[in-house]
């Protein structure tokens, strides 16, 4: 039996939000959607962590999702980032995404206020009962300050429209518990852990590196899905230096914005408190991109 959310298996790309002179550059955003469609990406995810959602206003968040849905025009799935540490705000943003035609919503765990496990459950349950599009629980305790425990995620999986988890704890034990205890589709939240996670039953990745090399990410994911372990390993090792730099040189999305600028696909502009990659980081990233063959 396929898992809930299995139509989101494969490569999802966490889109950057391009800025120009402090404002969202919607023309470049639309061109990025076209780039992903041309590559064969299964789903695009605007205004997640990579899309600098913490520094977008709610109005900007809503418009970015609307523009991406319109640009996608049904040719690629859209999973909008609509999470918040306020349940009411998350409902507002998720309701907007649903109204605009998004295929799913990516909901980061409530951050900073550190709910109890019951608080996590009630947060997602309230959203699920209010908005009927498929929901993806995004568990990234390194950002939010607290883990959603596997038992809580499995309990959430009993709700009809909670269908996926973006697993960014870095723990294969946690992922194993979720896979054994629920029928949720598990997507890797870390590019470099995609193949290990898929080897135990994960079905794809929400990728940062996919902004730059979506076709190679697709090759790796498809090899994993088809059981071609040798090809999956080969692609993992090829992609690893790039994936490492995306998270290791500075906080996401600083390195991917720098990479997109080097490739002539973005201004590289960030919003404070994010600041540009330093000279040493730029030199290292340029060397990695050159060695990979994209620069």
Q: What are 115-135's pLDDT values in tens digits?
A: 999 999 999 999 999 999 999
Q: Which of 121, 124, 138, 146 is catalytic?
A: 138
- 124 in active site: no
User: Tell me: the pLDDT tens digits for 185-212?
Assistant: 999 999 999 999 999 999 999 999 999 9
Region 152-156: mean pLDDT is 98
- For the cut 90, the answer to whether the pLDDT of residue 90 exceeds it is yes
- For the cut 90, the answer to whether the pLDDT of residue 18 exceeds it is yes
- 138 in active site: yes
Task: Say if residues 176 and 200 touch (Cβ distance below 8 Å).
Answer: yes
How far CA 96 is from CA of 23, 58, 93, 227, in Å, comes to 21, 10, 5, 38
3-state secondary structure of 2: coil
Give the predicted TM-score (pTM) of the model. Answer: 0.97
Task: Say if residues 117 and 149 touch (Cβ distance below 8 Å).
Answer: yes
**Amino acid 108: pLDDT:** 98
As given in the structure block, the two tokens for residue 81 are: 């980032």
Q: Which of 166, 257, 284, 287 is catalytic?
A: 166
Question: Domains plus CATH for the chain?
Answer: 6-227 (3.20.20.70)
Secondary structure (DSSP) of 95-136: HHHHHHT-SEEEEEPPPSS---HHHHHHHHHHHHHH--S-EE
- For the cut 90, the answer to whether the pLDDT of residue 1 exceeds it is no
- For the cut 90, the answer to whether the pLDDT of residue 220 exceeds it is yes
């Amino acid at each position: 039996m396929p898992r809930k959310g299995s139509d989101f298996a494969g490569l999802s790309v966490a889109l950057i939000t391009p800025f120009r002179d402090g404002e969202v550059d919607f023309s470049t955003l639309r061109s990025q959607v076209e780039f992903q469609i041309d590559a064969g990406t299964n789903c695009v995810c605007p205004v997640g962590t990579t899309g600098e959602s913490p520094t977008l206003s709610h109005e900007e968040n809503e418009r970015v999702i609307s523009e991406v849905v319109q640009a996608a025009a049904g040719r690629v799935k859209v999973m909008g980032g609509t999470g918040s540490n306020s349940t009411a705000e998350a409902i507002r943003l998720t309701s907007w995404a649903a109204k605009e035609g998004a295929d799913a919503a990516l909901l980061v765990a409530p951050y900073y206020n550190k709910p109890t496990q019951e608080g996590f459950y009630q947060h997602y349950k309230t959203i699920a009962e209010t908005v009927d599009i498929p929901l993806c629980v995004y568990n990234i305790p390194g950002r939010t300050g607290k883990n959603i425990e596997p038992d809580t995620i499995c309990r959430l999986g009993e709700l009809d429209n909670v269908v996926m988890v973006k697993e960014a704890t870095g723990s294969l034990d946690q992922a194993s518990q979720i896979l054994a205890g629920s029928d949720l589709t598990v997507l890797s939240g870390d590019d470099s852990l995609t193949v290990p996670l898929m080897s135990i039953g994960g079905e794809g990745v929400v990728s940062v590196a996919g902004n730059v090399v979506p076709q190679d990410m697709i090759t790796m994911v498809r090899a994993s899905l088809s059981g071609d372990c040798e090809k999956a390993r080969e692609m993992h090792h090829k992609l690893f230096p790039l994936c490492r730099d995306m998270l290791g040189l500075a906080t996401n999305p600083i390195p991917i914005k720098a990479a997109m600028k080097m490739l002539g696909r973005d201004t590289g502009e960030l919003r404070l408190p994010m600041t540009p990659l330093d000279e040493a980081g730029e030199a290292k990233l340029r060397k990695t991109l050159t060695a990979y063959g994209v620069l």
